[in-house]
Each structure stands twice: as C-alpha cells, then as structure tokens.
Structure 1
Amino acid sequence: MRGNGPWKVAAGAAAIALLAAGCSSGSSDDDETLPNTISIGISEPESLIPTNTTEMNGSSVLSSLFYPLVRFDEKSTPYLVAAEAITHDKANKVWTIKLRPGFTFSNGEPVTSDNYINAWNYGAYGPNGQLGAYFFSKIDGFAAMQAVDPDGDGPKKAGEPKAQKLAGLKKINDTTFQVTLTSGFAGWATVMGYDSFYPMPKAAFSSDGVLAKDYGEAPIGNGPFKMKGKWRHDSQIQVEKVADFKGTIPKVDGITWKIYQDQGAQYADLVAGNLDVQTKIPIESLASASGDLGNRLQKSPSSSFAFVGFPTFEKEFSNRDVRRALSMAINREDMTDQIFLGSETPAKSFVSPVVEGYKANTCGDNCEYNPVKAKQLYTAAGGPKDIKITYNADGGHKAWVDAMCNQIKGSLGINCTGVGEPKFADLLKKVEKKEPVGLMRLGWVMDYPLMEDYLGPLYTTDGSSNYYGYSNSAFDDLVRQGNDAKTTAQAEKLWGQAEAILAQDMPVIPLRFGQNVFGHSEKVTNVSMDLFQKVDIYKIEVAE
C-alpha cells in the first residue's frame, strides 16, 4: 500500500500501498472524554472508498469500518474472517468464496454475495478511476473493462470499455460466489485480504454501478465500528461500536482518528496525554522518546520499505548508469544510524525481510556506498548537475532528505535540493500528472504478504503505483510467470529472478526497511501494531 502503496503504499502499500507517514494538530473533541473511547493519530486520508484507498491513513480508518474476507496470523498466513470457506480448483484458477451467515452492514443491510460482486465491479471499471483497480486485474474480464472500443459498436459509445462487469465474477447464491482468474494464482486467498476487496452495501450506490455522491464522506461498512457523523477533513474521523456485531468484538466503544499535518504537533499531543496512540515517532523526537514515554514507547516488526523513485521518462534519468551512480553515492548505514538512530535498517533489496522469498543484498554493488565509482559512472553517463528530491512535508522527511542530498553533493560534486510539498496528496497529484518533481520520496507497506506485492504494483508496466514510468518486458513476464506458478515456492523463485532485473535497472533507490516505533498514552493498554503498520483495534483497551 502506498504506504501508506498504495503509496502504501507507502504508502502503502501497497499500494502500495505509497506511505504518507505523518501529519497537523488534530482538533480536540468532547466525545474523546467519553468512557471507553480512544484516539489514534493519522494524516488526512486520500479517500475512504475501499477501492480507492491505497495509502496507510485511509486504510487504517477502513480497518475499523470493514471486516475482510481473511486476516493474517503472526506468520502472515491468511485465516478466514468474513469468509466461512475459500476453496479452489487444482489449477488455482476458479475460487469459491462462502460467506459467514448473519453478518450485516452498519445500516442493517444483510451482507450478501452481491455486495462483493458490485463493489469489485465498481473498483475494476476503468472510467471510475479507482486507485485500487489494479488489484482486480487477475480476474477474468478485467481487460475488457479498461480497453477502449474505437468503433463503438452496439450499445457502447466510441471510447467506452467493452464491458462494465467482470466476467470472472459469478453469484452462486446469496452467501456464495465464484471468482475465475485469467490464469491460476496460488496466492489469491492472500490477495483478498486487501482493502480493495471489502464489500459495499446497496446504499453505497445511487444506481447500478454508480456510487452515491457522498458515500466516501461517511462510508457504511460491515465491520465492528460505524461512522459517527461525517469525515471532518483535516480534523478528525469518529467511529463508534456497532451493536451485535457478529465477528471479533473490539474492547473499546469508539475511536477518534485525529488528523494531523505535522508529526511534531502530534507527538506533543501524545506526551501531553491529548492523543492515545502515535503510530510513528518523528525523527526529531527519537532521542527523547524513551525519557518522555518510558515503557509506553514500543517497537515491533513492520513491512515498510522506504525508497526514492526516478522519473525514468525524463531524459536526464533515462540512463540506468545515472540511477546506479546516485544509489552508490548514498551511505545508507550513516543515514540509518545518525538520522534514525538505528530504528530503521539499510535496504539493499527490493523486497522486505518480513515476507517469504526475501533475499539479502539482491541490489549488490549498486546499493553499496562507493563515492569514487559513483562519480566515475555519473560523469561518464552525463548525469545532471542539479537534482531535486521532492517529499511530502507532512511526513517528517526533511531531515533525512537533506542528509541524503548532502551525501550526493559530497560524492558527486553536484547540486542537490530537497523540496517539500505540503501534503502527501499534493505530491501524489504532481507525480500522477508527471509534473517535474525530480526524484520522488516514496514508501511502501505491503497490501498482502507476498513477494509479488513488492514487485507487481510498483514496477510492472501497468502497476498501480509505478509512478516512475519504468517498463521492462522481461520483468513483466517473470512476475506474470510467478503469478501463474502452481506453488508459492515456484512463484518465489520466478519473482526472485524478476527482482534481479530491478537490481540492474535501478528504477528506484532502496533506502531503508522500517519497524514500527510507536507510543501511547497512560490511558490505554494492550497496544500493538502489525506488519501493515496498523494498530490492532481488537486488542487495545482503556486502562482500568
């Protein structure tokens, strides 16, 4: 997920989901003083429509409003949640999903097969422009929902896709539906744990395939909480417990997702007891956090991957030797030690260590600090004498971007400037429009625990979070072959070969693998965060 992917992803992923990790002082609210309610800090989400939410802030809110088909255990193995059974044929091509009976949306509508089919069709239909559309691309009929019909034969007008529905979705009955993929994919059950695969109620649509205008301001979900009022942009999003919820029941009665535009202000609220959870301690507070918070400062594994992308479609960065040289000009160890105080580790691979199939140092020499070789390579390739690195200022990235620029200046003897965009959404809009932003600060948190999630969305030619215009047909083919493999072990071998191509082409500079470094107030206990950088809303509780 843009991490925060997509960018999940970091965002996240991811995503990617591409990651937007920080955020402005959230406003206080009288409801926060009610018993058994908590507050969690986030940045302003990009969207709260499941098929359009591909970054961490919106994804976190959706996790309280919706209940997925599957969740993941500590070994990243999917287990059934809203699904009662998920089965498939020998070819891993036809998947049958049986829903648990008795579930309803927060407005009382029963959850049926139609709610999944309608939501997925909406997400996959090209003209709807949903950021999560890519994740439906493995379902049969997806291409026909994107392709333009130049002739406009029959009922379709010229320029419209040939189909409005996924051919691979079939209703068996109210609680069972079938998904047919274009080719077998052993990891499909894992993929269905992602946000884009949530159901949406009838109330979400004003007519067949047309989303109600204000649905994204107060989404109705099938999860343990429901919206309390509407999304108060740049301020807060409040949710309250759903009565008689049929799934796992949280221990708190409500959550205020407080929206910040500055991580420092968020941290000040945390220390003062005006915020219950901050999911990422800002860089400038890492040194003092232990003294400020004591045992309320915690760490746990995360799937986050920080990197900088090249606009490969621009001439000055189209030469891969320029990209390799810039990667070699960076001292990752110094950055992680001095800026992040060891809270993150140098990344020299493109896939996170938390997923099966990870291999260390797949980037090889291209990710080793070698200023002499870097300058030789950069000069020979005719690299630009001035570069900029654009980042989102609401994510607390200035310190490390400035440090990275200083390293590049020292190694290559060129000018390097960090440029901050106010919000993650501002940066994303410029990147999507291919406006000149120079190198792009990006991040990814996995959407689902497979190697493929660090490869397909980010680097395939049609990847949902491929903002750098990278395209390599051999890479695309290997990712596709991995998807078609009959076992995950076979898939990981092929995906590993695809990763080796990235190590040669260097469309991005791998920088850091992160961990969750978070803090909480004295008001709450049993606070934990998962690999997806989300607070476990089912375990957290108000201290007695």
Structure 2
Amino acid sequence: MPGKSPWKMAVGATAIVLLAAGCGSSGSDDSEATSNTVVIGIAEPQHLIPSNTTESNGAEVLASLFYPLVDFDAQNQPVEVAAESITPDATNTTWTVKLKPGFTFHNGEPVVAQNYVDAWNHGAYGPNGNGGSYFYSRIDGYEALQSEDPDGEEGPKKAPEPKAKKLTGLVVVDDSTFTIKLSAPFASFKSLLGYTVFYPLPKAAFSSDGVLAEGFEDAVIGNGPFKMKGKWEHDSQIVVEKVADFKGQVPKIDGINWKIYQEDAAQYADLVAGNLDVQTQIPIESLAKASADLGDRFQKSPNSVFQFVGFPTFLKEFQNVDVRRAISMAINRQEITDQIFLGSQTPATSFVSPVVAGYRENTCGANCEYNPTEAKKLYDAAKGPSELKITYNADGPHKAWVDATCNQIKASLGVNCTGVGEPKFADLLTKVEKKENVGLIRLGWIMDYPLMENYLGPLYATGGSSNYYGYSNTTFDNLVKEGSSAATPEESIKKWQEAEDILAKDMPVIPLRVGQNVFGYSEKVTNVTVDLFQKVNLYEIEVVS
C-alpha cells in the first residue's frame, strides 16, 4: 500500500490506513466501457462498508460512491461538502452538524441525519467487528458499545454483550440536523469527519435495526456522484456510473471501471498498452523506464505516506533503547532512496509526514543519521542480538529495499540480518498479534485526516489501534490527550510536538522514508491528479475529446 493492503483498524488500525502494497494479475476486461468512462487500477479491496474500510483500495472506490461531510482545501483545512455547517460549542465538546438539502441515496432515499447516526452506531458497536470502529471512540458512550475480546489466553469463548448498542453522544435534532457529543474536547474534530468511516448509510443497508442487509456490501448504495453498475466482481472489477442530477460537485466523466489487479507489474503493462487509464503508484521496477514509456504522463505529487519498521518491544532483545538506536543509525536511508527508489521517496527524519501542520524537520536527530561507527559501539555495548530479521508482506514491492537494508545492517553492525517475506500483509499482522517473533516489522501509514495526532495516537499510544509493537509511555499518552483537548489547533500542535520529542528519545520505530505519489496515465485522459490520500481527483479527470 502504499495502499494496497490494510492495517485493520479495530483490530488495531487507524486507517489511516496502513499500507501494505498488494500487487497483482490483471482483472477481466469486460466493463462495457463507453467513450466518456475511465479505467483506474486498484488491488482487491478488503471491504466496501465505510466503517470497515481502512485501506486505500476500498477507500478509493467509496470516494466515488459517497459524498463526505467535509473535504480539504489546498491548506488541508476542512471545508463543508455534504454538510451545510459543522459548529462546536464553546468547549469544543458538542458539535452540531447541519446537512445541505436535496441529497439522495442512489436508491432514491433522501439523505437525513438519522442515516449518519445509524451508520456510525453500527460501525462503533464492538461485536460487529468493524475495522474503523476506533474512529468513533471520541464520541460519548463508545466504551459501552465494546465487549472484551472473546479470544483470550484460555482459548475462544463467547464475549459478553456490550452494555449498549447505540452511542449516547449522537442525537438527531431533525431530518437535517444532528449533534455529536464527545467524551473530551477536541478542537480539530471537524477534520475527522472527512474520513471514510463517517459516511452515511441508507435504510436499505439494514435488514433490521443495526443489522446490515445480506449482500449490501456487493452492491453498495451511497450518496455520492457515482452509483454501482451491477455488483462488485471480486478480483476483477467494480464498475460505477454517474448519478443523474447529483446535487454536489458534478464529475466530468460518466463512469469508472475500478479494475482489480493482483500484480503491480501487470497493471503497469496495461497502462503502457493503453488498456488502463490511471495507475496511482508506478512499481519500483518500472520507475527507470516510466519516463520513456509515458513521457509527460508520468507524474509525481505529494502524499502523506510514512514508511517505517517497528520494534516488537514485547521481545527482550529489543527492550534496550540503545539497541534500537544502533539499528536505526546503521541504515543509510539516502542510499536506499537513491538506488532502490530512484529518488521517488525521501529519507524520513521525523515521525510524522511533512504534509501535516506541526511537522518539523529532523526531530529524530542523530538517531536517524547514518553513523556505522557509533552504531556498532552502541550495539556492542548494549549486547544486541547476534541475528536480526525484518519481516515484510510479500504481496507488496518490499523485498528489494528490505534486502538492501539488511545488507547495510550487516556491514555496519557485523551481525547477520535476513529479510523474511510473509505471503500477505494480513498474515504478518496475525503473527504480530499473537506476539510471535517476527523480528522488525515492515509497516507503512497514510493519514486518515491531516493532523499530527493521526500519526501519533494510533501508532504509539498505549493500546493504540495500530500499535502492534507494544510501545507504552505514560507521558507520551498524556501529551497526545492534552493536545487533542487543547482549546485551539495551535495549542494542540505544541503538545503533539512534545509527544513526538519523546518518540525521538525512545525510538519505538525506525523512520525510513516519506513517500510521494508516482503515477501515470494514458493518452485517453487529462487533468489527472492524485492527492495526499493517494486518491485520484474524480471531479477533475476528463476524457480527451
């Protein structure tokens, strides 16, 4: 992934969507395309229910089917889209959402406040197992919707029913208005409402109160500019067509074939052959020839991807911070970005992406500088393990850079280092969740919403949704919380920066690279842009006349 396989959010994801990078063979090509439709490549989504979609493939498709409450302007500030207004009270605890009139779902149902409340209650209810449930955790009453994990150390057992099925913090005022009461103030809450899990669902999505209708996910009904044409053809394609008389911003194209691939190389071959109109991430092995193949249709733009490896701190050999610091200093990030990624990524020297407000260069300091001499001294003094391994998902393009990183570690520290590929990202996460010894863990993160907190809380807070390495620091936790409850965004940033400074001392992960979109498109289309979330701008892309 960047963007092909997910971090599971409720199981621990924030979707921010964790990145897994799937690759694949081409899907079928029987899309009944018309002259004003486009073909965009993706990998097979994990899910298409908004509250359960925490990876970028599903999120891309849902962006065509749904219209969010807010989107983001060029300065990453939230701007009302489906919402008429989103207003906090004086303490930033209760937020009032008013909807724009006239919107309907694809089946003709009017979009009303109850549709948001029903969708979010379903997403937050623990037994439903939604991957994005974490994102409702700020809403009052969330804890009462959760139950203990039934799969404890004694083996699978039935979990007790939660105390409640609906969030007390959600109240419908009238058809066009609802309020959201948070369990603690959060000045930047409006930014969260642009994320996938906050889409509404129609009455037709439910067979009974809180129960999704069978088959709904294969024929999703949204409130957006495109509607599904037929059903989700798994591992092949998802075809959508323009909605007539859409009340929001109207796209310039009539439809999209989301063509599903199992290999990035096959997707690139289709792009060069003109059988695919947009590939949002050119594979590493094709970067050297992409300019010659595509000319000025080979483009780059900023995104929010943060690539790193995590230390499973529940393993004794990684509990000494000097071991962690030494391994980080043993890696020549610049050499890998130059030689493996051909400059398409940039060395990371901080723990958040440069695209978010509050980013500071080089917060990692000396710990992220290549210094093999000092690294070996530290490692030997700390009695680091004689062998290391980095486990990565083999369904993404990671082998080359992982092997290069291991070779650098070998040369710097004089210890054996091996890259180990797990067939799928989900397989890797399963082993980590079981606390199996997988060594260092290859991970990636793309923001769900443009706040520093989105890189800090989910990844490093105690019990954070995507804190798979078991890092825990009470002072860090408190600073993240204080930042969230601060009265202004500026005060929030100060606290979050203090929290990031603690990460630089503790080094629970090794920052490696920050990414950018490296994409290509066919001669058939123009006005192609890919945003910070790795999504194609579906409102601006058009077919060349």
- Identify the TM-score tier after normalising by the shorter chain: over 0.9
What's the counterpart of residue 292 of structure 2?
291
Q: How does 1:28-427 map to 2 (within 5 A)?
A: 28-31=28-31, 33-146=33-146, 159-427=160-428
3-state DSSP of counterpart to 1:374: helix
Aligned to 2:475: 474
Structure 1 residue 203: Cα displacement: 1.5
Map of 1:154 onto structure 2: none
Moved more, 360-369 or 207-216: 207-216
Q: Secondary structure at the match of 2:95?
A: strand
Identify unmatched segments of 5+ residues in structure 2.
151-157
Aligned to 1:153: none
The aligned counterpart of 1:440 is 441
- Aligned partners of 1:8 and 1:64: how far apart in 2? 22
TM-score between the two structures when normalised by the length of structure 1: 0.94
Change (3 A) 1:19 1:27: same
Superposed CA deviations along residues 435-463 of structure 1, whole A, max 9, x for unmatched, are: 43322211111111111111111111232
CA distance in 1, matches of 2:52, 2:498: 31
Match of 1:46, SS state, is coil
CA distance 1:141–1:382, shift in 2 (3 Å): same
Alpha-carbon distance in structure 2 between the residues aligned to 1:533 and 1:432: 27
What is the distance in 1 between the residues matched to 2:148 and 2:390? 36
**Deviations 1:139-187, CA, capped at 9 Å, x for gaps:** 111122225599xxxxxx9822222111111010111000011111110
- Partner amino acid, structure 1, of 2:274: G
Identity %: 70
Contact 1:13–1:56 (CA<8 Å) still a contact in 2?
A: no
CA RMSD of aligned residues (A): 2.1
Quick one: distance in 1 between partners of 2:392 and 2:217?
Answer: 27
CA distance in 2, matches of 1:420, 1:284: 18
Q: Which moved more, 1:87-96 or 1:21-30?
A: 21-30
Q: Do the aligned partners of 1:66 and 1:221 also contact (CA within 8 Å) in 2?
A: yes
Partner SS state of residue 419, structure 2: strand
Residues 370-390 of structure 1, C-alpha deviations (whole Å, 9 max, x = no match) = 112212222222322222222
Q: Partners in 2 of 1:202 and 1:385 — Cα distance?
A: 59
Structure 2 contact 5–22 (Cα < 8 Å) conserved: no
Residue 455 of structure 1: SS of its match in structure 2? helix
* Structure 1 unpaired stretches of 5+: 151-156
Q: Secondary structure of the residue that 1:31 maps to in structure 2? A: coil
What code does the residue aligned with 1:205 have? F
Say which SS state the counterpart of residue 184 (structure 1) adopts: coil
Contact 1:390–1:420, Cα closer than 8 Å, also in 2: yes
Q: 1:170-207 CA distances to partner (integer Å, 9 max, x unpaired)?
A: 01011100001111111011111111111111121121
Deviates more, 1:202-211 or 1:342-351: 202-211
SS in 1 for 2:495: helix
Question: Which piece of structure 1 moves more, 120-129 or 524-533?
Answer: 120-129
User: Separation in 1 of the partners of 2:421 and 2:232?
Assistant: 26
Alpha-carbon distance between aligned partners in 2 of 1:74 and 1:190, rounded to the nearest angstrom: 14
| Aligned residue number for residue 153 of structure 2 | none
2:41 is paired with a residue whose SS is strand
One-letter code aligned to 1:334: E
Amino acid at match of 2:97: I
Distance verdict in 2 for CA 1:149–1:287, change over 3 Å: closer
Instruction: Flag the 1:39–1:59 CA change in 2: closer, same or farther, 3 A.
Output: same
Q: How many residues align?
A: 536
TM-score scaled by length of structure 2: 0.94
Contact 1:277 1:521 (8 Å CA) reproduced: yes
Q: Is the alpha carbon distance of 1:539 and 1:137 closer, same or farther for their aligned partners in structure 2, counting shifts above 3 Å? A: same
Which amino acid in 1 is paired with 2:40? I
> 1: distance between equivalents of 2:107 and 2:499?
46
2: CA distance between counterparts of 1:158 and 1:455? Answer: 30
